[in-house]
């Protein structure tokens, strides 16, 4: 089993990349999450999931460990294959997907091409407890606020505040009003911590 590959990106498209290492080019299937992190002609280290079938050996590449972990959770669900899992991870960021599953939001999952009501319910039933063990907040934050939330969360945790307390405060703040900047969100959170 391969764990990761380190080399130069020689080809890049929204669905795959070719990473050359030691004179060999490896074709890796990727999601839009990973695609957005890559640049042509740069050196990268991608985590790998290898799928071996009768007719093919396919490598899936991931920029981060959380994305690969979520991919593996998704393909463990009956009826969800690797391409469907990749489609889901292309439609939502890993944290957003974890929040959707933890909250039991089938409507958001059904927005992904190829996911119907039964598949969405099966994903939620099978993964809700597993996602909860990962410490993902059970409430969905509006998608446009996720980058604000993540930056504010990182800053406040680095300042020494407990992660759980910070998450609760940020969730409440983002529900009540829409701060324009990370700085504004941090200032409001500091008043409540």
* Torsions phi, psi for 105 (to 5 deg): -90, 90
Say what the pLDDT of residue 103 is.
83
Each domain of the chain, given as residue ranges in start order, spans 4-62, 65-133, 143-192
Residue whose structure tokens are 């080019």:
25
Among the CATH numbers 2.40.50.140, 2.60.40.1180, 3.40.50.11810, 2.40.160.10, which is that of 4-62?
2.40.50.140
Report phi then psi at 55, rounded to 5: -105, -5
**How confident is the model at residue 138, as a pLDDT?**
43
Strands (E) in the chain, as ranges, are 4-12, 16-21, 24-29, 43-52, 57-62
Which of 43-52, 63-72, 145-154, 167-176 is least confident? Answer: 145-154
Strands 57-62 and 4-12: unpaired
State how far the Cα of 167 lies from the Cα of 9, in Å rounded to an integer: 36
Please name the residues in contact with 63: beta carbons below 8 A apart, sequence gap of 6 or more. Answer: 33, 34, 37, 38, 44, 46, 47
What is the pTM (predicted TM-score) of this model? 0.68
Of the ranges 24-33, 76-85, 137-146, which one carries the lowest mean pLDDT score?
Answer: 137-146
Domains 4-62 and 143-192 share a fold: no
Give φ, ψ of 180 to 5 degrees: -80, -30
> Hey, which CATH number is domain 143-192, 1.20.1250, 1.10.8, 3.30.390, 3.40.1350?
1.10.8
- Tokens representing 133 are 């063990």
Residue-averaged pLDDT of the chain: 85
Percent of the chain at pLDDT above 70? 91
Domain 65-133 has CATH 1.10.150.20: yes
pLDDT tens readout for residues 178-193: 666 777 888 888 878 7
């Amino acid at each position: 089993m391969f764990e990761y590959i380190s080399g130069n990106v020689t080809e890049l498209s929204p669905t795959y990349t070719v990473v050359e290492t030691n004179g060999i080019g490896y074709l890796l299937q990727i999601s839009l999450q990973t695609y957005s992190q890559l640049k042509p002609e740069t050196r990268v280290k991608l985590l790998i999931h290898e799928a071996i079938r009768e007719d093919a050996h396919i490598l899936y590449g991931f920029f981060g460990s959380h994305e690969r972990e979520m991919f593996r959770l998704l393909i463990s669900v009956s009826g969800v294959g690797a391409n469907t899992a990749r489609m889901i991870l292309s439609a939502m960021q890993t944290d957003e997907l974890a929040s959707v599953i933890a909250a039991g939001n089938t409507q958001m999952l059904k927005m992904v091409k190829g996911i119907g009501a039964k598949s969405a319910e099966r994903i939620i039933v099978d993964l809700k407890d597993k996602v909860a063990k990962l410490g993902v907040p059970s409430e969905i934050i509006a998608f446009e606020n996720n980058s604000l939330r993540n930056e504010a969360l990182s800053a406040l945790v680095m300042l020494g505040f407990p992660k759980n307390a910070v998450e609760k405060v940020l969730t409440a703040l983002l529900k009540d009003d829409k701060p324009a900047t990370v700085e504004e969100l941090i200032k409001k959170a500091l008043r409540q911590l």
